[in-house]
Amino acid sequence: AVIFGKEVFGGTGMNILNPALTARAFLFFAYPKEMSGDQVWIVDKADAFSGATPLGETMIGNMDKIPSPVDMFLGYIPGSIGETSTLAILFGAIVLLATGVASWRIMLSVFGGGLLMGYIFNLVALNEYMMIPAWQHLVMGGFAFGAVFMATDPVSATQTIRGQYIYGFLIGLFAVLVRVFNPAYPEGMMMAILFMNVFAPLIDHYVIQANIRKRRKRWRKVAVID
């Protein structure tokens, strides 16, 4: 992650993509068999039980086996690191916000974009994936973890205030979009964040240009009045 996700771009503060997600994306597409499935990284004599994650159950069509929202929120479910307890993630969000490390605008807009996309699919409801309650997407898989710890990376995210709202909203929207339309890859958070990392500088550019145009109009009005 440090070498290929950060140093190749020039070192600390120069990377355009989230280093951790860049490394995970490389491993996922280079070694899909070793990175996917219910038995990955599980030895024959595991000291705990293993099973399909909630998103894994949706991928194979077992909608009736999806855990209850309360269990997913509290973390009483099998899952990868960072996707089991939404409650613990919210505690982490409080710490990040209290220390000023992360942007609440990005977090809030990610959840907002996911909710909106989920509600749109609920209205269409052409298949079982689209009928998953919109709010349930927020506690399934790595959505909450990505919104709190990954999308808010201060280097690869947008820097302008309005840009942060746009950036976060589109991440949430695309994450649910990938989940519904690509059942072979039920977790869309990684791809959504990396995709928007690429467009973050462009979003900031247009936000800044829009502000410049507004200020020019104001100055022209003042000049005309004078």
pTM attached to this predicted model: 0.82
Closest CA to 66 of 118, 111, 151, 131: 131
133 in a domain, yes or no? yes
Provide the residue type at 158 as one letter: T
The domain in which residue 149 lies consists of: 37-225
Please report, in angstroms and rounded to a whole number, the separation of the first and last CA atoms in the chain. 57
**Most confident of the following: 3-7, 41-45, 69-73, 154-158:** 154-158
20 in a domain, yes or no? no
Is the CA virtual torsion 159, 165, 169, 172 positive or negative?
positive
3 in a domain, yes or no? no
200 in a domain, yes or no? yes
11 in a domain, yes or no? no
Our count of domains for the chain comes to 1
155 in a domain, yes or no? yes
134 in a domain, yes or no? yes
14 in a domain, yes or no? no
Per-residue pLDDT of 181-226, as tens digits, reads 876 676 789 999 999 999 999 999 999 999 999 888 888 777 666 6
In the predicted structure, residue 56 carries a pLDDT above the cut 80:
no
Q: What is the mean pLDDT of the chain?
A: 82
In the predicted structure, residue 62 carries a pLDDT above the cut 60:
no
